[in-house]
Structure 1
């Protein structure tokens, strides 16, 4: 059975993008050789990638125009986009998941031999976290206070316990935190 691992970059004050959609300029403050190596390792470990619709559309628009090791993996890996409105998915090797997404993703995890990764997709993550489907959270902290923007974690009535598995300081002042999610299930 595969795990569902979330990878996001956020500011110290908890925003994963600025006030405008796809304002990810803070990523430049932590990107470097260390995060490139982490990205490649995660791709080599991936059974597939899971996105919400908005993240999928932005990722597809970006990665289909890129070249190199990371772009090659992003474009060739199996991808699943969660959407009740999307009718076509043109990015190579993509399937649409709609309806009972919790059961569909639980089924994917059970059948997997490697791990699934979710990038971005904050709205989707609130559903997956509440359903207990997230096994691990990898959070890259950019060394800045953004002040405002789109918060990484949506308000919830439920407490979710995390267990620190590892921390990786980065040479550029950022840090990657690896957390196990206390209430994960299949």
Structure 2
């Protein structure tokens, strides 16, 4: 059975983007040889990439024409992709399907393939998948920068979410990769 792993990069103060949509300048503070190697490793093990609509639109605009990281662009373009959206019905980026019932779709797909399923970015989607008990692992890259404001990765909840630490790893840029398993909510 496939594991569902949520992967994102946040600032030290918890923002996954700045005040404007797709303001991802904090990625520059963590990107380096170690994060590139991790990205290539993800490309070797991923069976499906999952995005919310907004993240999909940004990724679909960037990766088909990227020439800076051709190895990463290759897997980003070739791997099967799934978009969770109630407004989109079709997707133009190759190997992409759209669903308006992401929970049902992921429950089905995780049993049909044992390769990892990665949810990239997509904070609102990750939040709903956490609530549904579908995230097996949170993998968070913490960039060594404080933004001061922006869009928080973790949304406000009235209930606590407990996590079990799986790994911490400092990388060459001074960033940290944190891996946690969410506790199963009863």
The TM-score range, normalised by the shorter chain, is: over 0.9
- For 1:173, the equivalent position in structure 2 comes to 174
Unaligned runs of 5+ in 1: none
User: What is the Cα-based RMSD across aligned positions, in Å?
Assistant: 1.3
- TM-score, normalised via structure 2 length: 0.95
- What is the CA-CA distance between 1:172 and the residue it aligns to? 1.4
Contact 2:140-2:177 at 8 Å conserved across structures: yes
- For 1:38, the equivalent position in structure 2 comes to 38
- What is the CA-CA distance between 1:158 and the residue it aligns to? 2.9
Q: SS of 2:172's equivalent?
A: coil
What are the residue-to-residue correspondences of 1:155-166 with 2, within 5 Å? 155-166=156-167
Q: Distance in 2 between matches of 1:183 and 1:167?
A: 21
- For 1:49, the equivalent position in structure 2 comes to 49
Q: Distance in 2 between matches of 1:180 and 1:92?
A: 31
Q: Distance in 2 between matches of 1:79 and 1:158?
A: 31
- For 1:120, the equivalent position in structure 2 comes to 121
What are the residue-to-residue correspondences of 1:10-25 with 2, within 5 Å? 10-25=10-25
Unaligned runs of 5+ in 2: none
What are the residue-to-residue correspondences of 1:1-150 with 2, within 5 Å? 1-67=1-67, 68-98=70-100, 100-150=101-151
Q: Distance in 2 between matches of 1:151 and 1:157?
A: 16
- What is the CA-CA distance between 1:109 and the residue it aligns to? 1.1
4+ residue stretches of structure 1 with deviation over 6 A? Answer: none
1:36-79 deviation digits (Å, cap 9, x = unpaired): 00011011111110000000000000001113100000000000
Q: Distance in 2 between matches of 1:101 and 1:94?
A: 14
- TM-score, normalised via structure 1 length: 0.95
- What is the CA-CA distance between 1:104 and the residue it aligns to? 1.5
1:72-123 deviation digits (Å, cap 9, x = unpaired): 000000000000100220000000011x321211111121211100111011
Contact 2:143-2:176 at 8 Å conserved across structures: yes
